[in-house]
Amino acid sequence: MTRTDSSAAHDPGDGPPHRDDAHDSPADPDADRRAAVRASWAVGIPVSAYGVSFGALSVASGLDIWQTCVLSLLMFSGGSQFALIGVVASGGAGAGVAAITGATLLGTRNALYAIRIAPLIPGPWWRRLAAGHLTIDESTAVATAQPTLASQRTGFWWTGVIIFVGWNLTTLAGALVGDLIGDVRAYGLDAAAAAAFLGLLWPRLKQLQPVVVAVAAAVLAVVLTPALPTGVPVLIAAAVAVVVGITNWLGRRRA
């Protein structure tokens, strides 16, 4: 039977047949970088939207608009920021220490991310300094998911910059709204901090160890809250969680 398709008509002497979709080939560096940019936008936009809740809750917790914005500019770590304002809002003698301790414990994970990201960021010290500030859960996740070194760098920088700009803009918007509506607790928005924090925690509860750590810390905090000054139960629960996590006594069994 005579074949009439284009592959049959191709003369081997003319080199490999032309592919119209070559620009989409996984081996195409430009295609990899474009995919990294798309992933950055897909992650960056919804994550940035959380800034509205943070801005409103921060103002309701007692910070003013500018303090709220400076916190997002300098700390730039959603989990740490929500933890800090959540404890500050509760007041009490131990709230300040508990807020700083909780935010610091949550922020230490970024130091671990930096170890993974450091090989991707060559160049002068100021570039590494900027990269350190943009090293968060999302920028690390997008970067490490890319197939090539170039696309990993693209994913890291694009995700970090998109979220940094978006988070700070939505923080300002949320702070302005919170300042206008007054007490956000009247609208039930005070639960957003806990909900957002649970949203950050939930994807990590895939093994028995993290589940036990989370449940033990939560139960301990609830039991101790009526008996101890505000902020102290959080410190004790965090200490217990750290001990259980470091000892890894349940191993890596899945939940």
pTM of the entire predicted model:
0.69
Verify that 118 and 67 share a domain, yes or no: yes
pLDDT for position 193 = 58
Residue 6 lies in a domain: no
Provide the H-helix boundaries in the chain.
6-9, 29-60, 65-74, 78-90, 95-117, 125-133, 137-144, 149-181, 191-201, 208-224, 232-247
Please indicate, yes or no, if residue 19 is contained in any of the structural domains: no
Specify whether 114 is located in the same domain as 235: no
Angle at 249 between CA 235 and CA 222, to 5 degrees: 30
Q: Is residue 79 part of a domain?
A: yes
Residues 219, 124 within the same domain: no
The pLDDT value recorded for residue 106 is 67
- Measured CA to CA, the distance from residue 162 to residue 40 in angstroms comes to 8
* Same domain? 140 vs 211: no
Q: Are residues 172 and 105 in the same domain?
A: yes
Residues 146 and 90 reside in one and the same domain: yes
> Do 46 and 134 belong to one domain?
yes
**Residues with pLDDT less than 50, the chain:** 1-25, 93
Say if residue 156 is in the same domain as residue 103: yes
User: Token pair for residue 159?
Assistant: 């995700």
Question: Which amino acid belongs to residue 75?
Answer: M
d(CA 126, CA 89): 36
In this structure, the answer to whether residues 223 and 181 fall within a common structural domain is: no
The boundaries of the domain holding residue 101 are 31-193
Q: Are residues 163 and 236 in the same domain?
A: no
Q: Are residues 154 and 78 located together in one domain of the fold?
A: yes
Taking only the tens place, the pLDDT of each residue in 5-62 is 444 444 444 444 443 433 444 567 789 999 999 999 999 999 899 899 899 888 888 8
How many domains are contained in the chain? 2
Residue 117 backbone zone (phi > 0: left; psi -120 to 50: alpha; other: beta): alpha
Residue 26 lies in a domain: no
Q: Does residue 123 sit in the same domain as residue 232?
A: no
